[in-house]
Amino acid sequence: MDTNGHNSQITIALAGNPNAGKTTLFNSLTGLKQKVANYPGVTVERKEGPWTLNGKTANLIDLPGLYSLDATSLDEHIASDIIRGEQAGVQKPDAIVAVVDATNLERNLYLVMQMFEFGVPVVIALTMIDVFEKQKHEIDIEMLSARLKTPVVAVNAKSGRGRNQLAAKVQEVLHTTPVVPYEFNENAENAGPNGKIFSRYNFISEVVQDSVWHSDQKSHRLSDKIDRVLTHKFFGLVILVAILLVVFQTIFSWASLPMDLLEKGFGAISDFVRAEMPPGILTDLLADGIIAGVGGVVVFLPQILLLFLFISLLEDSGYMARAAFLLDKLMSRVGLHGKAFLPLISSFACAIPGIMATRTIESRRDRFATIMIAPFMSCSARLPVYTLMIGAFFGGQYVFGFISMGAVLMLAMYALGIIVAIVVAGILKRTVLKAPPPSFLMELPPYRLPNLRTVFQNMFTRALLFLKRAGTVILAISIILWALMYFPRSSQQSAVTGQPSAAIATGEVSSESTPLPESEQLKHSFAGKLGHVIEPVIQPLGFDWKIGVALIASFAAREVLVSTLSIIYNVGKDEGAESQTLIAAVRDAKTDDGKPAWTPLTALTLMVFFVLAMQCMSTVAIVRRETNSWSWPLFMIGYMTALAYLGAFLTYQGGKLLGFG
Amino acid sequence: MAENTILTNLPIGREARVTAVKGEGRVTRRLMEMGVIPGVAVQVVKMAPFGDPIEVRLRGYSLAMRRTEADAIEVSF
């Protein structure tokens, strides 16, 4: 055996089926000192933490939840690499703690059989034993251990039962060589590529028969009764819709207060910086670039925490698998997995938590297809844009005399997003993400009360990952966008300072030395120039260069359109309080040749553009992280922008042909 | 006299034994790894609202699968 003489720290791998209680056991063994990261190059999560074994600290690695080690999925590939000691950066484990659910012994033991074959010593941690005994079954742990030729310890993460014994047994098996307790049956009947599977299961059946007694085979379990209601053909769907409504209503109403507070907080920090620091580039960068940029991302945190609270609760209780079961038929028509439903619904609040929630989808292609269409769901950041456009051009209008035009348009925008998403998913699944008909095979675990500690730990882990990873990329992009709107300075003073960005400027130096009003500065900035540059491109959409500047800025975040338009049209800085005047300003705005800059048709075109365009750098950053490549987010920006342009073009030109605008 | 059919056509609630799992690919392999191998007792518990997927009970747990997957499983009851 590998004794790792150069490194005294012992490495233990924790492995088991999904839903076997592995995460709960991991949390109870390592406490709060765990580290979460990704394995390099893939999105499989790497979790590890310290576990005290007889005074010495071992490194406990939590392997992804698995059904098999045959390396057909990415998770299985990583797990078998780790056990073989072939995963870069991870020490070959000295022993494996196999988490086995006593209520689902046969299938859980299958994975253990494979572990034996890897030649690493194994200790079995038997979970759910209390549930098992409540169901009037009995298990002979000594017999099980003797037949499997490996130690078996009954554990209960909550009460701490078996924790010390587990540590003792792990120490005992270190540096021993495990015995594979069965032989491969080579006879003709079971030969072939799947022959090993037969041999493993046949042996398991014998072992279970010898060590387990079922006193009442057909006992009606509570779980089955709950299931009869929750997956009922009619009531099941009604309950699902009701649960989703409650979840999203709660996310919206509970998140709004902390989000407001965060927004105000960052505003206050920014004001404080302005007040305390001497005016200049550094102060502007800090206040408008860094603090505003990071603040714009951190405000999403309450929504993310809440959504993941609910997702963890739904998942831990076993309901999530039922929701996927109920909806798979609908989703499979578009080539997606039933599990894609919740991430997509979540994206109506915000695509960021929605995209993070796709992790529950095992098939990489299904998951990526879901990620690629999630931003079409009209998120809450589009609302201010819709509201402004509807308020300015469609307010007080009615369809059939009583249905408000605003409501109809709003609904139409949501519907447009959904329809395009369905079409795009269908196309992606037939082309770039083409795969053999995906397997739906999914365990429906028994309903269980969620373990609150696991739920909260999961929630905070997600939040931390969001802040850490997305934060760095978003910070960089905010600084770039800020610079585009800030440089070149139109006053003489900054032109002489020889800032690198100013040096590239076209040499346009204003005669004044006092800073220009914000709208003038924007006009002369790189962003303003870009607005002029793209004017020929956006003219067929009915947009002038000023709208172009706002469009460019809104690629940082959709709602930025509103604040940018306020700056361009010289409306008071606080767009919330002054939105009434912004509506008036938009109505009165003129193009450079004196014609009205906006018509109802332009407003509609802009809304269509916003439904389809990828204008959210936080989403780009999160897609980069979740797909672990730049090509997917770039592809997303590319095709969504193309679709948005096409959609806007058809809307504007079609509208003009029909005599509107 | 035992009746042979595919799992898709097994009446709900009726217990049967798997006689064969057809096919060679990844899905077949995964089915077998989940414990669907010849000789095992299975039972269709219910169908989802739109008739697909189905819930199958075996080895003391519940496995959801699409009809296309159940088509490959031959049973006898």
Q: Given CB atoms, is B28 within the 8 Å cutoff of chain A? A: yes
C-alpha A502/C-alpha A487 separation (Å) is 6
C-alpha A132/C-alpha A104 separation (Å) is 9
A107 → closest Cβ in B28, B55, B61: B61
- Give the pLDDT score at A549: 85
Gyration radius from chain B CA atoms: 11
Letter for the amino acid at A52? T
Number of domains, chain B: 1
Peptide bond into A488 cis (omega under 30): yes
A14: phi then psi, degrees, rounded to nearest 5: -110, 120
Confidence bin at A509 (pLDDT 50/70/90): very low
- A-B C-beta contacts closer than 8 Å: 107
Query: Are residues A231 and B62, on separate chains, in Cβ contact within 8 Å?
Result: no
User: What pLDDT digit, counting tens, does each position of A374-416 carry?
Assistant: 999 988 778 778 888 888 898 778 877 777 888 888 888 988 9
Interface test with B, best of A226, A227, A441, A443 (most B CBs within 10 A): A441
- Examine the pLDDT at A112 and tell me if it is beyond 50: yes
Read off the pLDDT of each residue in A180-195 and give the average, rounded to a whole number. Answer: 67
A328 → closest Cβ in B33, B34, B53: B53
Contacts of B28 in chain A (CB under 8 A): 194
Closest alpha carbon within chain A to B22: A194
Quick check: A610 and A351 in contact, CB under 8 A?
no
- Which residues of chain B have a pLDDT value below 70? 1
Query: CA of A68: how far to CAs of A76, A108, A174, A262, in Å?
Result: 7, 9, 24, 45
Query: Are residues B49 and A234, on separate chains, in Cβ contact within 8 Å?
Result: yes
- What are the structure tokens assigned to A86, written together? 């072939």
Query: Are residues B29 and A330, on separate chains, in Cβ contact within 8 Å?
Result: no
- Examine the pLDDT at A436 and tell me if it is beyond 80: no
Quick check: A91 and A7 in contact, CB under 8 A?
yes
Which uninterrupted H or E stretch holds B19?
strand B15-21
Distance from CA of A219 to the nearest CA of B (A): 12
pTM: 0.77
The partner residues of A398 in beta bridges, in order of sequence, read A404
Query: Are residues A441 and B37, on separate chains, in Cβ contact within 8 Å?
Result: no
- Give the pLDDT score at A503: 36
Quick check: B53 and A329 in contact, CB under 8 A?
yes
- What are the structure tokens assigned to A289, written together? 């670039």
- Binding-face residues of A in 62-81 toward B, CB within 8 A: 67-68, 70, 72
Read off the pLDDT of each residue in A595-621 and give the average, rounded to a whole number. Answer: 92
DSSP string, A531-557: HHHHHHHHGGGT--HHHHHHHHHTTTB
Domain with residue B33: its CATH number is: 2.30.30.90
SS3 content of chain B, % helix, strand, coil (to 5): 20, 40, 40
Q: Given CB atoms, is B69 within the 8 Å cutoff of chain A? A: yes
Q: ipTM for the complex?
A: 0.94
Interface test with A, best of B7, B31, B32, B33 (most A CBs within 10 A): B33
Residues spanned by the domain of B33 = 4-76
C-alpha A598/C-alpha A47 separation (Å) is 54
pLDDT, chain A, mean: 82
Strands, E assignment, A270-391: none
Minimum mean pLDDT among A82-91, A271-280, A486-495: which range?
A486-495
User: What pLDDT digit, counting tens, does each position of A168-185 carry?
Assistant: 999 999 988 888 887 776
- Give the pLDDT score at A502: 38
DSSP code, position A255? H
Contacts of A79 in chain B (CB under 8 A): none
- Examine the pLDDT at A10 and tell me if it is beyond 70: yes
A441 → closest Cβ in B30, B51, B61: B30
Query: Are residues A201 and B35, on separate chains, in Cβ contact within 8 Å?
Result: yes
Residues with Cβ < 8 Å from A533, sequence gap 6 or more?
Answer: none
Query: Are residues A439 and B30, on separate chains, in Cβ contact within 8 Å?
Result: yes
- Binding-face residues of A in 200-259 toward B, CB within 8 A: 201, 231, 233-234, 236-237
Peptide bond into A437 cis (omega under 30): no
More confident: A571 or A88: A88
The partner residues of A51 in beta bridges, in order of sequence, read A58
